[in-house]
């Protein structure tokens, strides 16, 4: 059959992201796993009612043109869109990631608002594009997938409960895939048209900001899964870190009585154990900001156990903090800058500081792998992936050098910049912890997230096996080494002027309440 002209979905994706609507099969599955039966029931009811209202024959013709859709696909994508939207909003706004029954009702009030304005076309087109991207990426990655493996999702979406036959029919009908017999076994392979479509879809997903948003969400979901294990893994792998945190606290020179924003406060190791909260004292206050509820849960426990009364927790990301200009005397980040978009985070910090206020960060410098040959050998498979970034084009790294940091700070208008390089002692002979850290904490996150599911599992197994073998061969001592990290401190110029504003704090909670009441009144 002739190839069907497929829609460009960049604008659809932009529109949905702009409305905080997100479609992602992995996040959807992660959320579905923990859904309670009442919420599950409400979800099904809402999806059916939503489609009955909006997915009319005219809407279908208008949205998809000649592109066919079969069976349950639209129902399933809407379900996934609702679940992953809930997860994403949870991550960004500090709401529960898994909605309860009421949460499902509220979510659909908001989805209906979007559908009233734009129809249901953007949801369906964007979702089908993401699914096509996942399918084509996996089939291409494995050089063809056996038809029965594809249908069960074994290699790329093992959590699906129904065979993926509807999706396969679409791909065959539009000409992105074909069936080929290999020694009498039916394989699905990507056609030339499908290859071109994959390049074009990757570009659209990248341009709309979808891929980077997904990577951030998965990043955060990983931190969330680590939660309480974080301290223990970190302590074992980087035993010198507590001492360096103490040096960093001295370096920050926070005054008692200061109002401090700590970004990426995690489990509260710096806030509580190192003593940031104690340093600002009862007259001061620390707003501890982190996007991971699980990490924050541990931090809350720490604060309670120490009986501290000057720490407030805030869910969110350093790139966008819901406080007015000039709200803080100091913004501090301990081992978190390299998880943010540094340019945005430091520009936001600048806005938040009073004139003369200080920003201080402790972050990892890029690693020179030549200096750690056993580690280089261990992670060679990941390094190879970095040299051949896939179509999605993630090549930028988040680790700033000292020069990058200095340049960025002066471009953003900071003054009195101080930089200090420090050394961290690593002990990475504990193979499982190291691989978990590589998976969730490291610069390789992006490569991982671009892999189809089974390839990712294979890579983890490979890294575990390589690690065990290398530790056996070289002995534990070879896995102790130093890496470089750095501190900076800089100030917002004392001459800056802050525009006058009304009311001091605009909280996420207030923004959320306003959105919900707008939706309810509509």
Ligand X SMILES: C[S@@+](CC[C@H](N)C(=O)[O-])C[C@H]1O[C@@H](n2cnc3c(N)ncnc32)[C@H](O)[C@@H]1O
Q: Name the residues that contact ligand X, by CB under 6 A.
A: 220, 223, 263-266, 269-270, 290-292, 295, 317-319, 334-336, 339-340
Exposure string of 71-87, with b = 16+ CB inside 10 Å and e = fewer, is: eebbebbbbbbbbbbbb
Instruction: Tell me whether residue 223 or residue 375 sits nearer to ligand X (CB atom).
Output: 223
Residue sitting closest to ligand X (CB): 266
Instruction: Tell me whether residue 339 or residue 448 sits nearer to ligand X (CB atom).
Output: 339
* Least distance in angstroms from the C-beta of 263 to ligand X: 5
* Least distance in angstroms from the C-beta of 288 to ligand X: 9
* Least distance in angstroms from the C-beta of 433 to ligand X: 14
Instruction: Tell me whether residue 252 or residue 335 sits nearer to ligand X (CB atom).
Output: 335
* Least distance in angstroms from the C-beta of 224 to ligand X: 8
Instruction: Tell me whether residue 25 or residue 266 sits nearer to ligand X (CB atom).
Output: 266
Whole-angstrom distance, CA of residue 350 vs CA of residue 352: 5
Whole-angstrom distance, CA of residue 392 vs CA of residue 148: 27
Whole-angstrom distance, CA of residue 464 vs CA of residue 193: 38
Let me know: does 188 contact 177? Beta carbons within 8 Å. Answer: yes
Q: Give, to the nearest 10 degrees, the angle between helix 229-237 and helix 431-441.
A: 110
Instruction: Tell me whether residue 254 or residue 318 sits nearer to ligand X (CB atom).
Output: 318
* Least distance in angstroms from the C-beta of 155 to ligand X: 29
Whole-angstrom distance, CA of residue 484 vs CA of residue 481: 10
* Least distance in angstroms from the C-beta of 78 to ligand X: 29
Instruction: Tell me whether residue 27 or residue 115 sits nearer to ligand X (CB atom).
Output: 27
* Least distance in angstroms from the C-beta of 335 to ligand X: 4
Instruction: Tell me whether residue 55 or residue 448 sits nearer to ligand X (CB atom).
Output: 448
* Least distance in angstroms from the C-beta of 261 to ligand X: 10
Instruction: Tell me whether residue 202 or residue 292 sits nearer to ligand X (CB atom).
Output: 292
Instruction: Tell me whether residue 46 or residue 317 sits nearer to ligand X (CB atom).
Output: 317
Whole-angstrom distance, CA of residue 436 vs CA of residue 225: 11
Cβ within 8 Å of residue 157, ≥6 positions away: 25, 29, 134, 164, 453
Let me know: does 251 contact 360? Beta carbons within 8 Å. Answer: yes
* Least distance in angstroms from the C-beta of 46 to ligand X: 31
Question: CB pairs under 8 A, 24+ apart, for 386-390?
Answer: 386/444, 386/447, 389/447, 390/137, 390/202, 390/450
What is the residue whose two structure tokens read 């290859």? 195
Edge to edge, what strands does the sheet with 414-427 contain?
A: 311-315, 285-290, 259-263, 328-334, 353-364, 480-492, 414-427
Give residue 317's Cα distance to chain centre: 11
Whole-angstrom distance, CA of residue 198 vs CA of residue 213: 19
């Amino acid at each position: 059959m002739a190839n069907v002209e497929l829609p460009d979905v960049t604008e659809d994706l932009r529109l949905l992201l702009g409305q905080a609507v997100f479609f992602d099969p992995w996040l959807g599955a992660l959320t579905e796993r923990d859904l309670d039966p009442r919420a599950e029931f409400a979800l099904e009811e809402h999806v059916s009612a939503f489609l009955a209202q909006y997915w009319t024959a005219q809407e279908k013709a208008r949205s998809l043109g000649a592109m066919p859709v079969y069976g349950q696909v639209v129902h399933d994508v809407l379900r996934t869109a609702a679940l992953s939207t809930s997860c994403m909003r949870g991550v960004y706004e500090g709401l529960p990631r898994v909605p309860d029954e009421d949460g499902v009702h509220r979510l659909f009030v908001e989805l209906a608002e979007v559908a009233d304005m734009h129809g249901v076309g953007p949801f369906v087109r964007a979702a089908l594009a993401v699914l096509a991207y996942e399918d084509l990426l996996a089939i291409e990655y494995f050089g063809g997938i056996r038809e029965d493996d594809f249908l069960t999702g074994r290699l790329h979406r093992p959590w699906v409960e129904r065979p993926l036959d509807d999706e396969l029919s679409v791909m065959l009908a539009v000409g992105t895939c074909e069936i080929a017999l290999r020694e009498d076994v039916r394989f699905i392979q990507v056609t030339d048209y499908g290859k071109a479509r994959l390049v074009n879809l990757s570009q659209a997903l990248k341009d709309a900001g979808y891929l980077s948003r997904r990577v951030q969400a998965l990043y955060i979901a990983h931190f969330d899964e680590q939660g309480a294990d974080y301290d223990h893994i970190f302590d074992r792998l980087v035993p010198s870190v507590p001492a360096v945190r103490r040096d960093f606290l001295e370096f920050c020179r926070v005054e008692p009585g200061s109002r401090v924003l700590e970004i990426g406060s995690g489990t509260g190791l710096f806030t509580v154990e190192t003593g940031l909260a104690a340093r600002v004292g009862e007259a001061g206050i620390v707003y501890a900001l982190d996007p991971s509820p699980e990490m924050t849960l541990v931090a809350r426990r720490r604060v309670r156990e120490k009986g501290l009364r000057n720490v407030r927790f805030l869910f969110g990301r350093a790139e966008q903090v819901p406080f007015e200009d000039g709200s803080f005397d100091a913004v501090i980040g301990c081992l978190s800058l390299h998880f943010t978009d540094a340019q945005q985070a430091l520009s936001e910090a600048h806005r938040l500081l009073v004139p003369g206020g200080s920003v201080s960060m402790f972050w990892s410098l890029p690693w020179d792998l030549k200096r750690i040959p056993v580690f280089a050998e261990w992670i060679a498979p990941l390094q190879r992936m970095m040299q051949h970034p896939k179509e999605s084009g993630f090549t930028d790294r988040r680790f700033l050098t000292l020069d990058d940091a200095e340049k960025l700070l002066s471009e953003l208008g900071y003054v009195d910049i101080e930089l200090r390089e420090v050394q961290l002692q690593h002990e990475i002979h504990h193979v499982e912890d190291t691989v978990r850290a590589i998976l969730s904490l490291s610069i390789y996150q992006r490569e991982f997230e671009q892999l189809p599911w089974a390839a990712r599992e294979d890579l983890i197994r490979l890294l575990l096996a390589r690690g065990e073998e290398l530790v056996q061969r070289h002995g534990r001592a070879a896995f102790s080494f130093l890496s470089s990290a750095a501190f900076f401190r800089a100030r917002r110029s004392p001459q800056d002027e802050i525009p006058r504003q009304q009311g001091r704090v605009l909280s996420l909670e207030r923004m959320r309440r306003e959105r919900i009441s707008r939706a309810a009144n509509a």
